[in-house]
Amino acid sequence: MIFRPVSPFIAAHAWHEFRDGLIWKGILLLLGTVSLGFTLVRLSFHYQTDWREFTWSEIAVRVLLGLTVLLVLSLWNLLQAFNQARRAWVGEWPRRHRFGSVPG
């Protein structure tokens, strides 16, 4: 449950961070679902061809690609969180006009 703080300034920053967290989790869920679907299709293909075209390099490339995407998204999220904290520290209101206002 989310409680609205007394200060509208704190509520605005909390809502902004909550919304951004949902967006990031949605992106990660989408990427994870696509990756799982592609993996299942490839696994089915290798099973049907009796693993004749299976290579470890394919797995290594997929793992490295997945970790790279996860690292980039994590770094971007970290930078965004630091920027949001900096804005809150200096007293700057979040840009509410992009996604709507703070729920009341």
Cα(22)–Cα(77) distance, integer angstroms: 12
Residue 96's pLDDT band, with cuts at 50, 70 and 90, is low
103 Cβ contact partners less than 8 Å away, ≥ 6 residues apart: 15
Residue 99's pLDDT band, with cuts at 50, 70 and 90, is very low
Q: Which of 44-48, 51-55, 84-88, 99-103 has the lowest mean pLDDT?
A: 99-103
Long-range contacts of 21-28 (CB under 8 A, 24+ apart): 24/73, 24/77, 27/73, 28/70, 28/73
> What is the reported pTM?
0.69
Higher pLDDT, 95 or 68: 68
Amino acid at 50: D
Cα(69)–Cα(12) distance, integer angstroms: 30
pLDDT digits (tens, 9 = 90+) for 25-39: 899 899 999 999 999
Residue in the structure block whose two tokens are 């729920």 = 103
